[in-house]
């Protein structure tokens, strides 16, 4: 139930980078835009907009709003991002947005509420602690990152991103109980966060709480129906709950979205065997072995194929 990580060597990365440069990187990257206004719908000028990847905090973009309150950031790699809007005298707001390949993500109208002086000082301190914690996280000093996120939360306990990043730091330290609690708070504050639902589902599945995990993966799939990993992990939870028929549809969607998703083909083959669909099972298991001949389940797949072909 782990998130899949693509492994490539340096030569492939270099060739890919050259290919993208030649063929136009703008065709791969996307855009985030929006309009920031106050409670009276007046545009807010020079509000800072920070756009940070939920996967890699070093992947970030900074921009500001113009006189019309509008902002736009182009050249953003596809993925999920935390977008934080700040302006002195206003309460900051943090959102999670998804950028697709060559996509145009419009956040539309974002309203900021005014903050009194004491609240503004507290929020400013929380923001500084959060940014410092991100620096520690990027340096892989996760203990100090945890302390920084906790400090930010003590100053401003309503920002879901503080809890989400705290959960990521705990996860790096293999403190899964604490990570689960942090992700749970993040989901409570921002139920429509794909990343928070996915992370919470993953930790619950690790604890074999498959029914609870499936609920959060369902939400992740609802938020981002074209994410193959969310589809796969929901399917895996359903298999463990004995709901193979429903799981089948999610594995089928996973390979539709990602045709080289080896593990999903193995799961498809297993379900087809239980359904006495011999031809489909053989095709799926053969595809699995074609994609991942050295996988830990490859020997089992070969044994199943030998049995099916008798």
pLDDT in tens, 224-281: 999 999 999 999 999 999 999 999 999 999 999 999 999 999 999 999 999 999 999 9
Residue pair 120/86 in contact (Cβ under 8 Å)? The answer is no
Range of the domain at 96: 29-115
Domain's final residue, options 85, 115, 145: 115
CATH number at residue 96: 2.60.40.1120
In a domain, 132, yes or no: yes
Length of the chain as a residue count:
310
**Sign of torsion over alpha carbons 269, 272, 273, 279:** negative
User: Are 110 and 123 in a shared domain?
Assistant: no
In a domain, 243, yes or no: no
Exposed / middle / buried, residue 225 (Cβ in 10 Å: 0-12, 13-18, 19+):
exposed
9 pLDDT above the threshold of 80: no
State both tokens at 269: 């083959």
CATH number at residue 170: 1.25.40.10
For 295, how many CA atoms within 13 A lie in the half-sphere containing its CB?
20
List alpha helices for 107-243, DSSP H: 117-138, 142-155, 160-172, 176-189, 194-206, 210-223, 228-240
Distance, in Å, from the CA atom of 293 to the CA atom of 295, rounded to the nearest integer, reads: 6
In a domain, 80, yes or no: yes
From residue 170, alpha-carbon distances to 82, 88, 131, 149, 201 in Å are: 19, 31, 17, 10, 15
pLDDT in tens, 167-201: 999 999 999 999 999 999 999 999 999 999 999 99
6 pLDDT above the threshold of 50: no
Distance, in Å, from the CA atom of 63 to the CA atom of 84, rounded to the nearest integer, reads: 11
From residue 121, alpha-carbon distances to 38, 116, 309 in Å are: 20, 9, 71
What phi, psi does 150 have (nearest 5°)?
A: -65, -40
Domain's final residue, options 96, 115, 134: 115
pLDDT in tens, 107-126: 999 999 887 766 767 778 88
In a domain, 37, yes or no: yes
User: Are 135 and 72 in a shared domain?
Assistant: no
User: Are 36 and 81 in a shared domain?
Assistant: yes
In a domain, 241, yes or no: no
What is the tally of structural domains in the chain?
Answer: 2
Which helix (H) or strand (E) element contains residue 12? Answer: helix 10-23
**Which residues are CB-contacts of 47 (< 8 A; sequence separation ≥ 6)?**
36, 64, 65, 69, 71, 85, 86, 87, 90, 112
């Amino acid at each position: 139930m782990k998130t899949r990580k693509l492994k490539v060597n340096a030569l492939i990365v270099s060739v890919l980078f050259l290919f993208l440069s030649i063929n136009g990187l703008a065709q791969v990257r996307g855009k985030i835009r929006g309009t920031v206004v106050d409670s009276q719908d007046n545009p807010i000028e020079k509000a800072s907009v920070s756009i940070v990847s939920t996967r890699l905090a070093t992947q970030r973009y900074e921009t500001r709003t113009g006189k019309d309150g509008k902002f736009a950031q182009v050249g953003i790699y596809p993925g999920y991002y935390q977008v934080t809007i700040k302006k002195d005298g206003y309460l900051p707001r943090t959102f999670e947005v998804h950028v697709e390949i060559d996509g145009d993500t419009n956040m539309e109208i974002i309203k900021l509420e005014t903050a009194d002086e004491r609240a503004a000082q507290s929020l400013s301190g929380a923001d500084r602690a959060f940014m410092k914690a991100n620096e520690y996280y990027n340096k892989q000093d996760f203990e100090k990152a945890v302390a920084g996120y906790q400090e930010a939360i003590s100053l401003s306990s309503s920002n879901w991103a503080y809890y989400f990043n705290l959960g990521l730091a705990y996860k790096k330290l293999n403190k899964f109980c604490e990570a689960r609690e942090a992700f749970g708070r993040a989901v409570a504050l921002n139920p429509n966060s794909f990343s928070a639902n996915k992370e919470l589902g993953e930790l619950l599945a690790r604890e074999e709480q498959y029914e609870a995990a499936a609920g959060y993966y369902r939400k992740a799939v609802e938020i981002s129906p074209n994410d193959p990993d969310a589809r796969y992990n929901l399917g895996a939870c359903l298999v463990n709950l004995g709901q193979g028929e429903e799981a089948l549809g999610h594995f089928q969607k996973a390979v539709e979205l990602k045709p080289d998703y080896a593990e999903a083909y193995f799961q498809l083959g297993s379900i087809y065997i239980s359904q006495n669909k011999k031809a489909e099972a053989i095709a799926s298991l053969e595809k699995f072995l074609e994609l991942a001949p050295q996988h830990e389940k490859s020997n089992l797949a070969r044994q199943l194929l030998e049995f099916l072909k008798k």
